[in-house]
Each structure stands twice: as structure tokens, then as C-alpha cells.
Amino acid sequence: MSDLQNLQSETLAAIAAASDEAALEAVRLSALGKKGAISALLATLGKMSPDERKTQGAAINALKDTVSTALAERRGVLKDAALDARLASETVDVTLPVRPAPIETGRLHPISQVMDELTAIFADMGFSIAEGPDIESDDINFTKLNFPEGHPAREMHDTFFFQPKEDGTRKLLRTHTSPVQVRTMMSTTPPIRVICPGRTYRCDSDQTHTPMFHQVEGLVIDKSANLGHLKWVLEEFCKAFFEVPDVKMRFRPSFFPFTEPSMEVDIQCRRQGGEIRFGEGDDWLEILGCGMVHPNVLRNCGIDPDEYQGFAWGIGIDRIAMLKYGMPDLRPFFEADLRWLSHYGFRPLDLPTLAGGLSA
């Protein structure tokens, strides 16, 4: 077989074997590119005698045509195959069900929902929201709230303390939201009407206690705020929050260092086979602590107790969320279990409003 025939059969075999367009282009370059084998042969024509050029020229050009045609045919085949493969991989099955959008599947945690509900209720009564830091000073968490140094009431809060600093002071994780009362009184002049929802921490853990939990504090300071107002605010809150037309409340004397007098409040309920219903029955359930702000606390925060007076309360948010939405165990609140959240969670755009119904 002549050299030309050899070159032709090798090149045609390489074209047939090229499995994609890139491989085919490599074959083209090696045959017809600037430094390709066929181009090199064509370059020899110039040095040939006219007779030689006639026969060899025709043979080399015929080889070039054959290879060019084979390249074009193979390119067509590979292009079709590439298109078929792409169409197959991009097939859309229009009969598949539509995947739900994130807005359909995402859920608000019950704590967020209850915080939104509280905010809607108290905002409607003219309260604003105050916030404070989770890491507090001993002074603001305890001393300014009339817990004297070494007073046993400090021990009732199983406090998480940070290491003491060189000057002997130590920070702590706030054990209640009452320090936000202090911060509010120190930074604003009365009249004051705020609620302070937020995280609180105590070293405690069982079915109804977690080391981190939530409270909402309420504070009203003006020249005439009294116990009657306090009872009205709390009653209105309980009716709105539990979405019942009437609720009986029982105020029992209690003790908190920062209020005098101090009370704990129970609400009327009926317990039925593991369920609790409010606004009926003859059982009672404790839900909050409250009282008239102690004159020492007012004084500690720069407010003259001979001119101003007021009341405060503190509610466990997790507890009222459990009661309202029938969640028996507190621990799953903080376990980030999607199944629990999709069962107990709330749709994200259903913001609670008093007009629209809080939990509707």
C-alpha cells in the first residue's frame, strides 16, 4: 500500500474512532492543520517536477477531499449524538407534583409566635418594647432590684456566673427579665409603660425547666398607677392571650425583693384527661408573679418614690406557650427537631393580630 493510502486509512480510522467533537478536532488538526500530515504533503508539491506534480497533486488533493468529507460527516453524527444526550438529560417530567415552596413548609417556633402574640396584645394597650443584654452585671440583675448582698433570695435563682474580674465584680447570665426594668427606669423619665420579652438562664433542667427559657416583664411607672390597674392589665392580657371571653384570676400574697406588696397569680382552669381548659372549671394554675415596684428599686434607679409609683410583673413565656398550645414537655422546644416544629409550629405569614384572631 502506498504512503498516501496508508495515511488515508489511518486518518479515516481515527475519524471513525473520535468519540466527541474535541477528539475529532484533534484528528483534523493532525491531518489538515498547519502542521498536519496532509498539509505537509501539499507543501512538497512546489519542489516537484511538473509531471510529478500532476499525478501526486491530484492524489494528495483527493486524499484531502476524502478526509474533509469524512470529518464533516463524523462531525454531523457527533453533533446529533450530543444533542440527543442533552435532550435526554434535560427531560422534564411535567406530570411530577409541584414541590412546595419554602414559605409553605417553613414554620415559626411556638416561642416566636407567642412573643408576637404578647407584643400585639400589649402594644394594643399602649406598651412599648424594651430589651436588655443576656449577659448582665450582678448589680443590675440583683442589687438594684433590692436583693441585698448575701440575701437568701439570690440563692433561689440558680445563677450561671462568669469568672470574677480583678476588681471583684462578676458578670452573669440574667436569671430573669427584671434587670430590663432597671435599665429602662435608669434611662427614661416616667411615665413608663414597657414590656421586656427575652431569654433568661438558670441552672435547672427537667420536663418543665430548661437552662435557657423565656420571660416577659411588664413595667408601669407614673404618679398614680395602682394595684387596680395591675389587675385590669393582667386580666385583659389573659383573656386576649387565651382567647376566652372571661377568665377568673386569683391573686395570692407572695414575696419578691423588688415588689411590695408582691403577689402570685393563678388563673381558673379545668383539667380533663391530660388537657387544660381556661375560663372554666374550679382548679387553679399559677402563671405569673407581680406587685407594686418597691420604693428601694425606684430609688436605686434614680426615680423619686415620693413622686412616682408603679407596678411590674413577670411571666414565663415557655409556660404560657405550653398551656395555650397543649405542649406537655418543654425540652423539645430547644431540640430543633423538624418533625416537632412542623407539628407545633406556625405558618410564617399568619402574623397574630387582635382583629384577625391571635392564633387563627
Site residues for ligand DAH per CB under 6 A: 176, 178, 217, 256, 259, 289-291, 312-314
Closer of 117 and 217 to ligand DAH (Cβ): 217
Closer of 114 and 312 to ligand DAH (Cβ): 312
Query: Shortest Cβ distance from residue 97 to ligand DAH (Å)?
Result: 49
Closer of 15 and 234 to ligand DAH (Cβ): 234
Closer of 256 and 333 to ligand DAH (Cβ): 256
Q: Examine residue 102 and say whether the peptide bond preceding it is cis (omega within 30 degrees of 0).
A: no
Crossing angle of the two packed helices 3-17 and 37-44, in degrees rounded to 10:
150
CA distances, 169 to each of 166, 230, 300 (Å)? 7, 35, 18
Query: Shortest Cβ distance from residue 304 to ligand DAH (Å)?
Result: 20
Closer of 27 and 297 to ligand DAH (Cβ): 297
Query: Shortest Cβ distance from residue 151 to ligand DAH (Å)?
Result: 14
* Cα–Cα nearest to 177, from 321, 300, 329, 312: 312
Closer of 178 and 300 to ligand DAH (Cβ): 178
Tell me which residue has cell 474580674.
165
Torsion angle, CA of 55/57/62/68, rounded to 10 degrees? Answer: 170
Beta bridge partners of 250: 266
Q: Are 334 and 210 in contact (CB under 8 A)?
A: yes
Residue whose beta carbon is closest to ligand DAH: 314
Q: Are 24 and 18 in contact (CB under 8 A)?
A: yes
Query: Shortest Cβ distance from residue 167 to ligand DAH (Å)?
Result: 27
Query: Shortest Cβ distance from residue 250 to ligand DAH (Å)?
Result: 16
Query: Shortest Cβ distance from residue 322 to ligand DAH (Å)?
Result: 17
C-alpha angle 127/131/148, rounded to 5°?
105
Residue 83 CB-half CA count within 13 A: 6
Query: Shortest Cβ distance from residue 289 to ligand DAH (Å)?
Result: 3
Query: Shortest Cβ distance from residue 253 to ligand DAH (Å)?
Result: 12
DSSP state, residue 332: G
Closer of 38 and 297 to ligand DAH (Cβ): 297
CB atoms within 10 A of CB 171: 17
Torsion angle, CA of 88/89/91/93, rounded to 10 degrees? Answer: 120
Q: Are 27 and 71 in contact (CB under 8 A)?
A: yes
Closer of 36 and 132 to ligand DAH (Cβ): 132
